[in-house]
Amino acid sequence: MGFFKGKAFGKCIVCKKFTPILFRNEIAEPDKYICNDCLANHVEGSKEDLETWASTKTEAEILRAFNDSDQKIDARSSQTKQLQRQQKEYLDVKSTFMSSNSVKFGRYYFDPVNKQILMDTTLLDRRYKVFPFTSIISYQPIQEGHNEHKHHGVTRAIVGGTIAGGAGAIIGAVTGGKDFDYIDRLGVSINFKDGMTIQLMMINSQEKKNGIVAKTAYKNFYNICGILDSQINHNSVSMSDNNRESKNIDIADEIYKFKKLLDDGAITRDEFEAKKKQLLGF
C-alpha cells in the first residue's frame, strides 16, 4: 500500500485524501498535489486554466486563497494578474537599464553604472535575465573569415580574457593573427559562475572586411572586449583581496592557537616567538 500511495497515489493538500494520478494536479512544490474535485470546487475556468493556476501556487498560497474567498476563484483573472505583475517587474528592470546609458548588443544590454547585463526578451523568447558583472569569469572572442580566393573558413588566432592562477592573473584579451578579406562570424562568448554561457554575435554571415557593416561590428566587438577585460580584471583583484583577507585571518588564528599553548605552558616563549615569526614571514 505504501508503494502505491507514494507513486500512483498522491495526498490532496485540501481534503487529505490519496488520489490517483489521473485525478490530481501538481502544484508549485515537489510531491504535493490537489485533487480535481477540490480544485473544481474552489476555482472556476477551463481544465487548462485550473491546471495552470494550481501549478503556479504553493500549498500555503492555495489554502490561504481558499480560506479568504467565499466565492469561486476566477483562474483566468488570477493568471491575468500574475502576467501583469510579471510584465511590471520586467518593465521596471528594463527601465533601469534604459536610464543608465546601457550599451546594447543584440538582445543584451550592458549597464556600466549598475554593473550588470540584461538578457532582454525577443518575439520568440519572452524570458529575460539579469547577470551581475561580478559573475563573469571568462570570455572567448569569436572571429572566423576567409580570403577572396580561398572560401574555406579560417579562424583567426584570438584568445579571450579569463581569470586564472592563484593571484587571479588575466590571460588573453584580443590578439592578432592571420588576416582575411571577408568576415563570416564575429562576436564573443561569455561564461558566468553559474555555468551559463551567452553569445553576442555582431556578424553571423559573410561581410566584406572593409565594409561599413564590418567596421561597425568591429567597433562594437572591441568595445565589448574592453568592457569584459576591465570587469574580469576587477573580479580578479577582488578575488585576490578576498584570498589575502582569508589568509590573514588564518594567520591570526594560528598565532592565537600558539599563544594559548604558551599560556598553558605547552610551549616556551622562544618557541612561540619563533612560530610567530614564521607565520608572519619574518
Choose between 3 and 45: higher pLDDT.
45
Instruction: With a cut of 90, say whether residue 14 has pLDDT above it.
Output: yes
Confidence of residue 259 (pLDDT cuts 50, 70, 90): confident
Encode pLDDT of 150-185 as tens digits. Answer: 554 444 434 444 433 333 333 344 444 457 788 999
Whether 100 contacts 85, CB under 8 Å: no
Sign of CA dihedral 94, 96, 101, 103: negative
**pLDDT at residue 282, rounded to an integer:** 59
Distance of CA 213 to the CA centre of its chain: 31
DSSP result, 131-184: EEGGGEEEEEEEEEEEETTEEEEEE------EEETTTTEEE---------SEEE
Return the H-helix or E-strand segment holding 49: helix 47-55
| Mean pLDDT of the chain, nearest integer | 78
Question: Helix (H) and strand (E) counts for the chain?
Answer: 7, 17
Encode pLDDT of 41-93 as tens digits. Answer: 999 998 988 998 998 899 999 999 999 888 899 888 877 777 778 889 999 99
Confidence of residue 40 (pLDDT cuts 50, 70, 90): very high
Whether 186 contacts 217, CB under 8 Å: yes
Of the candidates 125, 122, 120, 91, the one whose C-alpha atom is nearest the C-alpha of residue 103 is 120
**pLDDT at residue 175, rounded to an integer:** 43
**pLDDT at residue 237, rounded to an integer:** 59
- Round to whole Å and give the CA distance between 170 and 161: 6
Choose between 277 and 42: higher pLDDT.
42
